[in-house]
């Protein structure tokens, strides 16, 4: 109720005075109807997010308290004798139950994305992706859970450290194989069809000393009307990917700016910084999870029918603790991400030297995705890994390119004079 009141009544609807009349002012590049639709859609999505997070916690909590997890473990032991089979069966029951309980909120989110014409998916297409998500998550979770509980049995006190030590190579491995094994399950990826544009993008990559042979295009128009591009993977499997919607709705100069932005993530090692930050958070996460779970089992183990931490029935407790810590740490991870995005924006405008293309690209991204140009503070803190669109557009408009060009001329003149004296 508090979140509803905050989003619908308390959150300011006015943009800061500094943006008014500039290219960052929604009134400049959006119609009144587009502004209204963007505000409505963003508020609904934000409310569903803040509703969904505590709902997930309650699901795990009630599965523990009402003995559902205990019953799942008993059924798995009655079915097979081997621990690997018991883990697979228990996890299937738990995954299916949580999937079904979360399905209404997932469907509501899909419904509104269709109503506001962000999603282009039919219900069967959307359901297909939901089922792919379920099975991909199930397989990955099975590997993680089986290893985790084997470590808890083997290392009574330091299992969290052993789990983190194995989590490091697993994370790196997943980042490496995701572009070639997981992403293609959802969409078709292929080298950019427009070879003239690809040549220009690869010239940018060469200018940035990026060893790239291809830019990849992905068929997203069958799913969404929004625009996007991203960098994924590491090492030899790193890819720069453009949605086909981006290619259709942005002109060549705008696409080149977007590509320069994505190249900045590679040049500035943001992917590796992100992995390092994620693993650092995971270290403290595993440690805190171990401490809290041990305390819960000591204090409430009898009521929850839990004798020791190594029992599979404690998994909802582990997932509950991890989910709560992930939410609590999201303001920090989002702040790091927003800083990196600002760096990438600055790098892109320095590389392309095209303010007009940068501004129009961001305006189109906001229009097509019904983005909230200036989100409420709590939404930005907990949800935004990118700066708000108004901030990005205003930064492009006020970025001191001319000043920097002047400085470069002075530096070149100074260097030439010094060379002549030498």
pLDDT in tens, 302-339: 888 888 999 999 999 999 999 999 999 999 999 999 99
**C-beta separation of 93 from 72 below 8 A:** yes
pLDDT in tens, 161-190: 999 999 999 988 888 888 888 888 888 888
262 is an active site residue: yes
Residues constituting the chain: 422
- Predicted confidence at residue 13, as pLDDT, reads 67
The domain ranges of the chain are 28-188+267-405
Candidate list 25, 73, 198, 262, residue with the active-site label: 262
* 274 SS3 class: helix
**Angle 61-330-165 (CA atoms, 0-180°, nearest 5)?**
80
**C-beta separation of 271 from 238 below 8 A:** yes
Candidate list 345, 354, 368, 372, residue with the active-site label: 345
34 is an active site residue: no
Residue in 8, 62, 26 with CA at minimum distance from that of residue 362: 26
* Alpha-carbon separation of residue 97 from 62, 68, 199, 259 (angstroms): 12, 10, 49, 41
pLDDT in tens, 97-139: 999 999 999 999 999 999 999 999 999 999 999 999 999 999 9
Residue in 325, 297, 292, 291 with CA at minimum distance from that of residue 311: 297
Q: Rounded CA gap, 255 and 236, in Å? A: 24
Name the binding residues for Zn(2+): 261, 265, 341
**C-beta separation of 372 from 30 below 8 A:** no
- pTM here? 0.86
């Amino acid at each position: 109720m508090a979140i509803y009141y905050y989003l619908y009544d308390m959150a300011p609807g006015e943009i800061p005075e500094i943006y008014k009349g500039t290219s960052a002012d929604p009134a400049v590049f959006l119609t009144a109807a587009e502004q209204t639709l963007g505000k409505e859609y963003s508020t609904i999505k934000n409310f569903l997010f803040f509703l969904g997070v505590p709902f997930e916690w309650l699901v795990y909590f009630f599965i523990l308290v009402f003995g559902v997890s205990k019953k799942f473990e008993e059924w798995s032991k009655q079915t097979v004798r081997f621990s690997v089979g018991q883990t697979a069966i228990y996890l299937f029951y738990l995954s299916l139950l949580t999937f079904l309980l979360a399905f209404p909120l997932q469907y509501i989110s899909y419904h509104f994305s269709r109503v506001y014409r962000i999603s282009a998916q039919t219900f069967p297409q959307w359901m297909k992706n939901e089922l792919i998500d379920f099975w991909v998550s199930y397989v990955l979770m099975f590997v993680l859970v089986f290893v985790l509980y084997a470590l808890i049995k083997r290392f009574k006190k330091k299992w969290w450290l052993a789990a983190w030590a194995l989590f490091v190579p697993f994370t790196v491995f997943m980042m490496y194989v995701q572009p070639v094994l997981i992403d293609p399950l959802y969409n078709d990826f292929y080298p950019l069809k427009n070879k003239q544009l690809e040549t220009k993008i690869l010239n940018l990559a060469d200018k940035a000393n990026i060893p790239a042979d291809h830019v990849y295009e992905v068929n997203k128009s069958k799913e969404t009307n929004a625009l996007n591009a991203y960098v994924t993977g590491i090492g030899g499997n790193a890819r720069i990917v453009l949605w086909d919607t981006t290619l259709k709705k942005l002109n060549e100069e705008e696409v080149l700016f977007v590509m320069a932005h994505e190249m900045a993530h590679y040049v500035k090692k943001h992917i590796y910084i992100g992995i390092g930050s994620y693993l650092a958070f995971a270290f403290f996460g595993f440690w805190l999870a171990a401490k809290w779970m041990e305390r819960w089992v000591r204090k409430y183990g009898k009521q929850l029918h839990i004798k020791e931490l190594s029992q599979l029935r404690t998994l909802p407790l582990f997932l509950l603790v991890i989910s709560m810590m992930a939410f609590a740490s999201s303001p920090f991870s989002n702040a790091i991400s927003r800083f990196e995005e600002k760096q990438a924006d600055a790098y892109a405008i320095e590389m392309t030297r095209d303010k007009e293309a940068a501004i129009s690209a961001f305006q189109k991204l906001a229009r097509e995705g019904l983005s909230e140009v200036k989100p409420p503070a709590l939404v930005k803190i907990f949800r935004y890994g990118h700066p708000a669109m108004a901030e990005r557009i205003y930064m492009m408009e006020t970025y001191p390119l001319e000043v920097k060009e002047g400085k470069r001329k002075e530096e070149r003149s100074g260097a030439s004079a010094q060379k002549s004296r030498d």
